[in-house]
Structure 1
């Protein structure tokens, strides 16, 4: 199973999202393959939680899997927020990280 599939399976199981999209954005960064991911998660479990609490919940779900990747950009929404917004922001171009 690829890291992308592992991330999808882990987040799906823990957060039971109505919408889940995980993208491998490693090609946009200088740290190698399977290192940078973006996850768009729409879940009822985020209702009433601040952005920080939502991210903490997602990172907790990831557990030891987080040690296998360099970065995970999270975009977390309730179903109502997602219905309003409908799209996550584009990822920024990598500045290199080594400068």
Structure 2
């Protein structure tokens, strides 16, 4: 897998309120977003100024017709899922 790390990755970043985000997002957090009417959960791999790079399941990538399980999500288009809200799904996969 491609390493997309940068200097922001190890910091916890507070999202700007003007973008409609509340709380914190950091590399490793689980986020939920909707694309093409499909609700998706994934793990933040990298933080950028306007977006996060999120790793999603191969199954979700196929549903979205993506060649890679990595996708960009704008800060105003995701919700951070607290780790205490995650529960194992069948197969050991975590779902929010």
TM-score range, shorter chain: under 0.3
**Structure showing greater relative contact order (alpha-carbon pairs closer than 8 Å, 6 or more residues apart):** 1
Point out the structure with the larger helix share. Answer: 1
Point out the structure with the larger strand share. Answer: 2
